[in-house]
Amino acid sequence: KVITKMAAEGIVKDVGEIHARLLDHRPVLQGEIKCFIREFEGKRNHREEERLEAVLGHAQQMGHTIPACTRLMEDNLAQVIAHLKVATSMCEKISEMEESLAKTDPLKDRREERQKEWDEFMVEQVGRSAEVDREHEILCDNIREQHRLKEEKLKEGKVSLP
């Protein structure tokens, strides 16, 4: 019995190992997953290193460029300020001249005078036109009266036709 029991335990153990090797894929999958993760992290780290090196290069380039720009700005700042002051004073003078011209505009005074003359002329023309219309109406009335009288005389036989 003892030998059989041991033999049976050995057989169960062997069957378990065979079963684990044939049907249990966990150790193989774990190995594949660890390999994939190592590869992925290695590539990612390589890309991150390249990006960091590029950023470092840009920072170093800016470290050289910024002082040169600062010096250039400091050298030309006084000149730019002087030009701005000149431009500002010129603008102020132009503005003052425009204001003074707007206050005493000789053309504006002449325009207003001509407008007054024109208005007076138009009033006079309207008056003359009305007078001419009245005279015309009177003459038309006189001619009508003459024609009426001539027609009456013709009817009476006092006037002969030429």
- In the chain, how many H helices and how many E strands? 3, 0
Reported in sequence order, the residue ranges of 26-79 that DSSP labels E, i.e. its strands, are none
Top-confidence residue, 151 or 47? 151
Dihedral sign, CA of 128, 131, 133, 139? negative
At 101 the pLDDT is 72
At 161 the pLDDT is 53
Query: What pTM was computed for the model?
Result: 0.32
Top-confidence residue, 49 or 83? 83
Nearest 5°: the CA angle 148, 152, 155 is 140
Three-state secondary structure readout of 62-95: HHHHHHHHHHHHHHHHHHHHHHHHHHHHHHHHHH
Q: Is the pLDDT of residue 130 over 90?
A: yes
Top-confidence residue, 90 or 57? 90
Nearest 5°: the CA angle 66, 68, 50 is 45
Q: HSE (CB half, 13 Å, CA atoms) of 29?
A: 4
The b-or-e profile of 5-30 (16+ CB within 10 A means b, else e) is: eeeeeeeeeeeeeeeeeeeeeeeeee
Residue position matching structure tokens 């015309």:
136
What are 76's two structure tokens? 């030309």
Nearest 5°: the CA angle 96, 100, 106 is 150
Q: Is the pLDDT of residue 27 over 90?
A: no
